Amino acid sequence: MQGIGNLLATSFLKRHGIEQSVTATMIVQRANVILADLIINSPLKNDVYVISYKNDELVVACRHAAATHAVQGLLPQLRQAIQQDFPDKSFLALRTRLSGQEWYNSENI
């Protein structure tokens, strides 16, 4: 049985959309870890970064077309790994975005 505090917190989070935002952030962080593990020995490992999850769509920034192609090929493995960690969430689409000038790295995120 949940305490009244837990019920109120859960209700608050759902009502204000905070739960959805927190879950999306957790999915993005986990997807970046999974993607890094999948391409750990690839020369493209620094050329892809998951930037958002919204409306069942995972968006991955790619530095160039080769990175985009590589990420598309990893879709089944990425989807399966995310669904293991977040069984009540899914992503139906993977969208890649070329981001040549504005690159994402640990220094500016």
Q: For residue range 9-60, list pLDDT tens digits in order.
A: 566 656 667 778 888 999 999 999 999 999 888 888 889 999 999 988 999 9
15, 38 in Cβ contact below 8 A?
A: no
What does the block give as tokens for 76?
Answer: 């089944």
Residues 6+ apart with CB under 8 A from 12: 18
Q: What is the pLDDT of residues 59-92, one digit of tens each?
A: 999 988 999 999 999 989 998 999 899 888 877 7
Q: Which fold has domain 4-98?
A: GMP Synthetase; Chain A, domain 3 (3.30.300)
pLDDT of 4: 60
- CA end-to-end span of the chain: 40
pLDDT of residue 90: 73
Angle at 80 between CA 94 and CA 53, to 5 degrees: 35
DSSP characters over 16-76: TTHHHHHHHHHHHHHHHHHHHHHTTTSTTTTSEEEEEEETTEEEEEESSHHHHHHHHHTHH
Query: Residue 102 gets which letter from DSSP?
Result: S
Bridge partners for 97 per DSSP? 61
Provide the pLDDT for residue 16.
62
Domain boundaries in the chain? 4-98
Per-residue confidence (pLDDT) for residue 18, from 0 to 100: 78
Q: How many other C-beta atoms lie within 10 A of the C-beta of residue 27?
A: 20
